[in-house]
Amino acid sequence: MTESSMAMKENTSIGSKHEDPNNPLYLHHSDHLGVVLVTQHLTEGNYSTWSCVMVMALSAKNKIGFIDKSIPKPSDSSVAELQQWIRCNNMVKSWLLTSLSPDIYQSVIYSDLAYNIWADLKERFSQVNTPHVFQIERSIYELLQDTMSVVTYFTKLKGLWDELSALYPFQHALVVP
List per-residue pLDDT tens for the chain, 177 residues long. 544 444 444 444 555 677 888 898 988 888 878 888 888 899 888 888 899 899 999 999 999 999 999 999 988 768 888 999 999 999 999 999 999 999 999 999 999 999 999 999 999 988 777 787 888 889 999 999 999 999 999 999 998 888 887 776 544 333 334
Q: Is the dihedral of CA 154, 155, 160, 165 positive or negative?
A: positive
Confidence at residue 7, expressed as pLDDT on a 0 to 100 scale: 45
Q: Is-above-0.85 flag for pTM?
A: no
Residue 35 has φ and ψ, to the nearest 5°, of: -65, 130
Confidence at residue 15, expressed as pLDDT on a 0 to 100 scale: 55
Instruction: Using alpha carbons, list the distances in angstroms from residue 39 to 27, 98, 100, 169, 175.
Output: 21, 10, 10, 23, 35
The domains of the chain are located at 13-125, 130-173
Instruction: Using alpha carbons, list the distances in angstroms from residue 120 to 33, 55, 95.
Output: 21, 15, 16
